[in-house]
Amino acid sequence: MARYIFITGGVVSSLGKGLASAALGALLQARGFSVRLRKLDPYLNVDPGTMSPFEHGEVFVTDDGAETDLDLGHYERFTGVPARKTDSVSSGRIYSNVLEKERRGDYLGKTIQVVPHVTNEIKDFLHIGDDEVDFMLCEIGGTVGDIEGLPFFEAIRQFSHDKPRGQCIFMHLTLLPYLAASGELKTKPTQHSVKELQSIGIAPDILVCRSEQPIPEKEREKIALFCNVRKEAVVAAYDLSTIYDAPLAYHAQGLDQAVLDAFDISPAPRPDLTVWNDVSDRIHNPEGEVRVAIVGKYTQLEDAYKSIAEALTHGGMANRVKVKVEWVDAEIFDTEAAAPHLEGFHAILVPGGFGERGTEGKIKAAQYAREHKVPYLGICLGMQMAVIEAARNVAGLTAAGSEEFDHEAGKKRFEPVVYHLKEWVQGNHKVERKVGDDKGGTMRLGAYDASLKEGSRVAEVYGTTAIDERHRHRYEVDIAYRKQLEEAGLCFSGMSPDGKLPEIVEWSDHPWFIGVQFHPELKSKPFDPHPLFKDFVRAAKEMSRLV
């Protein structure tokens, strides 16, 4: 039976809960324990897939097709454990489940209340799979005191009492602000945060204190005294130059030992941190630098492309180079030429997205990369824009475009080389969708197989002709245009197993130009970079030597 670690955020700041959870998971793995990480979010959206990237950052997709919080990306990157649908739940999902049960008659006509019906639903969620691992790490989104999060706090309070003594602990992350004027760290916000947590019946066992400055022994003792924790359980979390130093930094501060002590696990296996020492060495000691332009529409909020930025970092680590990412707003190219903004970059990446805004700029970026022989990686919409660019400028289909843009405008303007995906095969059954269907959870989501063309660049990159990757899209390149596009030189090098859905395109006469319908960034890890990003950065490294 799993031991539970509940991670909560303080009144002043919850910044870094996801990273702390992921780093702790990695440290417990380094000691030989199995772990699973979960996220309980207080927002009322049933799934994050309906939320704008400006609202919530990137939507992370699991193999089994769940649209989740971006923190699950951290969990996977640090532990290598593939996330599942059951690893993320929101208040919206919980309330939706409760109301469905009430409509179905499961509660036999009882009055529906937050306690016990909502809290019981949360506890049922927490129990899933607790016999599979040694430790279950559960992060509660938001901060203590948020009205939206109160049912979750009440649920984990009840849950800890339902379990045998010593089966659950609470870890609380707070901020120690530094006042430069007086030159001191203030512990009062942490004290009030813990007081707020205690007022709802939860007493933290471990405090993780975010701080820009070293925490003096005097302040550490003061926090321990007034917050009713052991001094050894007050763990400092200092600002780091890279998130991949977090496991080593938290280990140096004794976080994993504090957890083992709280569970009275002694003697505990010593950690093997070889992997994380290698990761740290690779990221801090690059042997060169490459410049990569990400041409997108959400460039004001880098979290919208979080996994892509991290996957590029992983590719750089594999090639012993630093990847300097520069964000280029695709809308600039609506009124300006692409060349002045893209000259000097060693590679260009066009990520996914929804809607017509900025797409003409992405098409120009793909054209620039093709004509100037600059390494190009198009992901999801980035692949579709590369296909439209090829259709317009090489294959003679000057009116080529996407049905998505016509649907958005409410009138037909383009020849749809990209169309709304109405049906596809998932497992052993056919899935059907209509344009007017609800938006939430209705895309082609999760892991699907693809077959690669023998001798193609992607087959060489992957080292195999059979792959599976995660998808998140409603629109697909129309196979009806394949012959015309291939005669123009664009190779369809990856297809769905039934041969109906294009998965990968590439220009055979280009040093490195690949578009993929899926999201390879979601599977990349610092200790296991995704093959596409690894080779993409290698190509950028080669380009840097030619410039």
What would the two tokens of residue 327 be?
Answer: 């964000």
DSSP state of 34: -
CA distance 214 to 249: 13
What would the two tokens of residue 109 be?
Answer: 């006509």
- Residue positions annotated with a catalytic role: 380, 519, 521
CB 81 within 8 A of CB 62: no
Under 8 Å CB-to-CB from 222, ≥6 apart: which residues?
Answer: 187
Which DSSP string do the residues of 164-221 spell out, in sequence order? Answer: PTTSEEEEEEEE--EETTTTEE--HHHHHHHHHHHHTT---SEEEEEESS---HHHHH
**Using CA of residue 106, residue 109, residue 115, residue 118, what is the dihedral sign?**
positive
CA distance 284 to 279: 9
Is 207 exposed, middle or buried (CB count within 10 Å of its CB: 0-12, 13-18, 19+)? buried
CA distance 359 to 381: 9
Could you tell me whether strands 60-61 and 67-68 are parallel, antiparallel, or unpaired per DSSP bridges? Answer: antiparallel
CA distance 185 to 225: 16
CA distance 118 to 94: 7
For the chain, how far is it from start to end, CA to CA, in angstroms?
Answer: 58
CA distance 57 to 307: 10
Which amino acid is present at 386?
Answer: A
CA distance 17 to 477: 39
Give the position of tokens 């004001």.
300
Helix (H, G, I), strand (E, B) or coil at 157: helix
DSSP state of 541: H
CA dihedral 128, 147, 139, 20 (to 10 degrees): 180
Helix (H, G, I), strand (E, B) or coil at 509: coil
